[in-house]
């Protein structure tokens, strides 16, 4: 047999296995989310309804947006620790520029996204061209951005988001809050972007093997930088929305999103080493974490136990989602054949 054929064959099955394990992981997570939302009715009759589902979707929209950027950075073997500061930057810039009026809203938001993307480009440049470890680079950028926000606002962010944004956060269309619809559009576009577009495939290739990607003619450094830029812009967008939701920015508004953004990505079945991950999985991870936390709050569980349970869920998800388990499962399923 021609040896070249056997090589292609092998790669094909590997691809199939990988798809399989990702699909199983994603399905498991969504199954858990559904189970938790509707199962919570057993614990308390006030839970488990459509309104609670909507609430969870609403609250998770912020996390979904920043977790997408985090997922892209993790996909290219990085880690973005500047998420919290970029959320703060987005919030502070939006309230400062909008000053509670709708004037100029249409260039302020793109402007904020552009500024934050530039910050992401700087992080990306540090990682790719100066070979600074990603988490050091993003952590340092985060510190710098945070301290600029702190100095710029002198400790207390002033101003208010545009009324139009406030209305956007509160209004509903056919009983569904607009941010949820925005999130659905976001998920649709970015699933295509990450998994089915040439851009996404290139990012996957870079994460899988940068050297091979380079040989294949992919501009590895440029792709990596764009992942950091997108992540920074996503976090800033989440910051703008959060400021509109809370009707004002605070300097610590991003703190609750840094670790959950990483957790959502890894719970969603992406490898923290890069090269493997799907945005739908990340969305599932974000939904799972938000559902868990809102369910535990609704049940009146104290902050301590709530935090412990969240940690345990992440740990269990990690242990369950190990690749060996899937390959083990597959070999078990294959044996009878």
Partner 1 sequence: MTIKKMADSGLMIMVIYLIIFAIYAAVQPSALSAYSIQGLFNNSLPLMLAAAGATFVILQGGFDLSVAGTISLVNSIVAVLQFDGAIGAVGILGIALTVGILVGAINGFVVAYLKIQAIAATLATMIICQGIALLILRAPGGYVSDFMAYELTGSVLEVPVSIIVAFLVAMLWFVFRRTNAGRNLLAIGQDAKASELSGIDVARTKFFSFIWAGAFYALAAYFLAAQTSTGSPSAGEPFLLLTFAAVALGGTAFGGGRGGVTASLLGAATLVLMQKFLFSIGVSSFYTGMVQGLIMILAVLFSGAVQFVVDKRNIT
Nearest to 80 by CA among 276, 236, 284, 312: 236
Q: Does 118 bind partner 1 (CB under 8 A)?
A: no
Q: How many CA atoms lie within 13 A of 212 on its CB side?
A: 9
What pairs with residue 172 in β-bridges?
177
The one among 3, 45, 155, 300 contacting partner 1 by CB under 8 A: 155
The one among 34, 43, 212, 315 contacting partner 1 by CB under 8 A: 315
Which pairing describes strands 176-177 and 172-173: parallel, antiparallel, or unpaired?
Answer: antiparallel
What region, left, alpha or beta, does residue 283 occupy, with left being phi > 0 and alpha being psi -120 to 50 degrees? alpha
Q: Does 151 bind partner 1 (CB under 8 A)?
A: yes
* CA distance to 82, 123, 125, 129, 215, per residue, from 134 (Å): 10, 8, 10, 12, 23
Q: Does 64 bind partner 1 (CB under 8 A)?
A: no
Q: How far is the CB of 100 from partner 1 (least distance, A)?
A: 25
Tell me the window of 5-13, 132-140, 158-166, 182-190 that interacts with partner 1 (CB under 8 A).
132-140
Q: How far is the CB of 240 from partner 1 (least distance, A)?
A: 22
Q: What is the CB neighbour count within 10 angstroms for residue 325?
A: 14
* CA distance to 40, 80, 313, per residue, from 258 (Å): 27, 9, 17
Q: Does 13 bind partner 1 (CB under 8 A)?
A: no
Tell me the window of 17-25, 26-34, 144-152, 223-231 that interacts with partner 1 (CB under 8 A).
144-152
**3-state DSSP assignment of residue 176:** strand
Q: Which of 198/273 has CB closer to partner 1?
A: 273
> Residue count at the site for partner 1 (CB under 8 A)?
47
Q: How far is the CB of 272 from partner 1 (least distance, A)?
A: 4
The one among 3, 45, 304, 336 contacting partner 1 by CB under 8 A: 304
Q: Does 131 bind partner 1 (CB under 8 A)?
A: yes
Q: How far is the CB of 315 from partner 1 (least distance, A)?
A: 4
Cα separation, 42 vs 288, whole angstroms: 18
Cα separation, 288 vs 265, whole angstroms: 11
Q: Does 211 bind partner 1 (CB under 8 A)?
A: no
Binding-site ranges for partner 1 (CB under 8 A): 79, 81, 126, 130-133, 135-137, 139-144, 146-148, 150-151, 154-155, 259, 262-263, 266, 271-273, 302-312, 314-315, 318-319, 322, 324
């Amino acid at each position: 047999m021609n040896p070249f054929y056997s090589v292609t064959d092998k790669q094909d099955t590997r691809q199939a296995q990988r798809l399989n394990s990702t699909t199983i992981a994603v399905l498991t997570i969504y199954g858990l989310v559904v189970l938790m939302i509707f199962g919570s009715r057993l614990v308390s009759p006030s839970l488990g309804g459509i309104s609670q589902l909507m609430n969870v979707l609403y609250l998770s929209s912020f996390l979904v947006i920043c977790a997408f950027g985090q997922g892209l950075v993790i996909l290219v073997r990085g880690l973005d620790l500047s998420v919290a500061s970029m959320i703060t930057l987005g919030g502070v810039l939006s309230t400062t520029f909008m000053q509670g009026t709708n004037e100029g809203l249409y260039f302020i938001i793109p402007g904020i996204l552009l500024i934050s993307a530039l910050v992401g480009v700087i992080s990306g440049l540090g990682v790719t061209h100066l070979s600074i470890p990603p988490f050091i680079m993003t952590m340092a950028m985060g510190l710098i951005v945070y301290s600029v926000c702190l100095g710029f606002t002198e400790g207390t962010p002033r101003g208010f988001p545009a009324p139009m944004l406030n209305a956007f956060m509160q209004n509903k269309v056919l009983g569904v809050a607009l941010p949820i619809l925005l999130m659905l559009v976001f998920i649709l576009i970015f699933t295509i972007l990450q998994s089915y577009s040439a851009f996404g495939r290139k990012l996957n290739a870079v994460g899988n093997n940068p050297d091979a990607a380079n040989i294949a003619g992919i501009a590895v450094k440029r792709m990596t930088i764009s992942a950091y830029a997108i992540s920074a812009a996503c976090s800033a967008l989440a910051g703008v929305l959060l400021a509109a939701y809370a009707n004002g920015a605070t300097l610590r508004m991003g703190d609750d999103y840094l670790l959950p953004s990483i957790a959502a990505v890894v719970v969603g079945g992406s490898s923290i080493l890069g090269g493997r991950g799907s945005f739908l999985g990340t969305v599932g991870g974000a939904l799972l974490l938000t559902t868990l936390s809102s369910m535990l709050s609704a049940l009146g569980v104290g902050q301590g136990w709530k935090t412990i349970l969240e940690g345990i869920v992440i740990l269990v998800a990690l242990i369950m989602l190990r690749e060996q388990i899937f390959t083990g499962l597959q070999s078990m399923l294959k044996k009878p054949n």
